[in-house]
Copies of this chain bind each other. A is one copy, B any other.
Amino acid sequence: MKFANGKVSEVQIAYIGGGSMYWAKNLIADLALDEELSGTVRLYDVDYAKAKMNEKLGNSVSDYAETKSRWTYHAYETLQEALTGCDFVFISILPGTFAEMHIDVHEPEQYGIYQPVGDTTGPGGLVRALRSIPMYVEFAEAIERWAPDAWVFNYTNPMTLCTRTLYEIFPKIKAFGCCHEIFGTQNLLIRMLRDMEGIEGVQRDDIRVNVLGINHFTWLNQATYQNMDLFPLYRRFVDKYYEEGFEHNKDAWKTNTYTAANRVKFDLFRRYGLIAAAGDRHLAEFMPPWYVKDPETVQAWKFGLTTVPSRVAKQADAESFYRKLVSGQTKLPLKASGEEEVRQLKGLIGLQTFVTNVNLPNVGQMQGVPLGAVVETNAVFSGNSLRPVHAGALPVDVNNLVLRHVLNQETILQAALNRDKSLAFRAFVQDPLVAIDVNEAEALFASMLSKTKTYLKGWDI
C-alpha cells in the first residue's frame, strides 16, 4: 500500500468466493465509488470460470465515467496465488449448493420443524456448519501460510462458526465477521423516531447502540439518539404496533419472504426488556418454536419462511441479469450497497477511527460468555487495529438463551473437527428448535447427514 496526497493506492484484496454473482457486484460498486482507495482485487473461487467472469465485470467498471477510483480485478486458480502478498482477504462463499440447502431447510419440515432461514442455527444451520468448517480449516491454513498478516473479513454463514474455525486453526489470524443485521435495527429506530416523534433526517450513525450477543441473535441494552434514551420510546412504539407490526413497506412480508413485520422483535422486547437486533426470521430460529411452530403461527407473527425453491428462482433472475452485465449489454449500477466493507478497509488502513459492530472472539468484551467464543459487539476500527469495546453482560435470563447456542456452537465445532457423529447429534438435540421426540430427532439427523455426506469427508455415515 502507498499513501500519497491523502489517498492510498496498491491495496491488495484477495476475495475467496470471488465467483459470486451477488456480493461481488456490491464490492465492485462500493470500491468504484470511493475516492481514496485503489488497488487490485484477486478473485479466487472453486469455480474458476465464475471468478474469470467477475474479473471481466470488475475491470469493465474502470471505464465507467462515474467511477471514482480504478481497481484491477484478476482471477487466480489457486488460493496460494490469490493470497500471497495481499493486505486483506474477503471470504464470502456458499458452502455446498442449493441441493444441500434444500435439505438443510426443508427436510426438518417433515418432522414439524420450520426454519425461516436455516443457515445459522437449527438443524439446517448445524448441518451447514458441518459442511463449512472443513472449508474454513482449509482457508485458515492457507492464510497462515501465505498471508498471515492480512486482515480477514468473513461474510459467510454460519458467521459465528466460520469465524470461530479460522481462530481455532490459526489463533493469530486477524479475522472478523461482518453482518448488517444491526444496521437494520438502527434503521427501524430511525423510522420509529419519524413515526413517533416526527424527527426526520436521522443518520444510522446517530443511533448509538450497545450490542451484545452472537450473530443473528444480538441484543441492544442501550440505544440513544443525541441525549435521548430510546428505550422508553421503543416501549411505546411496541405498544402501538404490537398487534399490527411495523414495516418499511406495509404487508411486504406477505409477498417478500425475506422480510418481516417486526412482531417477533416486539414480542421479545415485551418478554425480555431488551431490543433484539436482527431480523425476525433470524431471531425466531434461536428461540423455542414459539414463533415457528407451524406455518400458521409464522403467518400470525407476520414473517416469511424463505423457501429454497424461491431462492433458486431468484438466482435464475439474477443470473440472467448478471450475464447481461458481464457481456456488457447492461452497465453495473454504481450505488452504495449499504455494507461497511470499504469503511472498514479504510479504518484498518489508518484513514479513520470509528466504532461499529463485528464478530470477534471474546477476550472479555462480553461478560458471561466463555473466552474464545465468537461474539458480536461493537469494536474500534483504527490503523492496523481492531479492538472490541467492552459491552458488559446480558441479564442472566437472556444470557441463558444465548449461552445455550454459544456452547452448542462450540460442540458443533468439536464434532466437525473430530468428525464425531455422536457429539454432533448431542448438539442437534440441544437446539431449541429440535423440540421433538429424541428418536425422531435421530431419524432426522441421520437423514440430513446422509444427504449432505459428499461434504463430510472422513465421516462414518
Contacts and interface: CB of A to CB of B under 8 A. Distances in A.
Contact of A400 (B208, B272, B353, B404): B404
Interface in A343-386: 349-351, 353-355, 363-365, 367-368, 370, 378, 380, 382-385
A229 interface: yes
A387 B366 CA distance: 12
A293 to B, nearest CB: 7
A385 B210 CA distance: 9
Contacts of A224: 350, 382-385
Contacts of A414: 396
A3 B430 CA distance: 43
A403 B401 contact: no
Nearest to A383: B224
Number of copies: 4
A203 B106 CA distance: 55
A399 interface: yes
Nearest to A426: B397
Interface string A223-235: 0111111000000
Nearest to A1: B227
| A208, A210, A272: most-surrounded residue (chain B CB, <10 A) | A208
A131 to B, nearest CB: 20
Contact of A430 (B205, B370, B380, B401): B401
B349 A364 contact: no
Given A208-B350, A353-B355, A364-B390, A226 B383 contact: yes
Most buried by B among A229, A271, A397, A423: A397
A384 B229 CA distance: 9
A322 to B, nearest CB: 34
Interface residues of A, number: 63
A437 B400 CA distance: 19
A414 B400 CA distance: 14
Interface string A407-433: 110110010000000110011011000
Contacts of A370: 368
Main secondary structure of the interface of A (DSSP, over half): mixed
A424 to B, nearest CB: 10
A388 interface: yes
A389 interface: yes
A389 B383 CA distance: 15
A411 B390 CA distance: 24
Given A396-B411, A407-B399, A389 B384 contact: no
A288 B440 CA distance: 14
A89 interface: no
Interface in A1-23: 1, 3, 8
Contacts of A202: none
Nearest to A401: B430
B208 A383 contact: yes
A438 B401 CA distance: 15
Nearest to A223: B383
Of A293, A349, A384, the most chain B CB neighbours within 10 A belong to A384
A391 B422 CA distance: 25
A390 B387 contact: yes
- Give the interface centre of A210, A364, A378 by most chain B CB atoms within 10 Å: A364
A437 B289 CA distance: 8
Give 3 nearest A-B pairs by CB, closest first: A364-B364, A224-B383, A400-B407
Given A225-B350, A435-B435, 10 more contacts: A205-B353, A226-B349, A226-B351, A355-B355, A378-B380, A387-B390, A389-B390, A397-B423, A399-B407, A400-B430
Interface of A: 1, 3, 8, 205, 208, 210, 222, 224-229, 271-272, 288, 290, 293, 349-351, 353-355, 363-365, 367-368, 370, 378, 380, 382-385, 387-392, 396-397, 399-401, 403-404, 407-408, 410-411, 414, 422-423, 426-427, 429-430, 435, 437-438
27 contacts: A1-B227, A3-B226, A8-B227, A208-B383, A224-B384, A225-B350, A226-B351, A227-B350, A227-B383, A227-B384, A271-B426, A288-B438, A293-B437, A353-B354, A363-B367, A364-B390, A368-B370, A378-B380, A387-B391, A389-B389, A390-B390, A397-B423, A400-B404, A400-B408, A400-B430, A401-B430, A403-B403
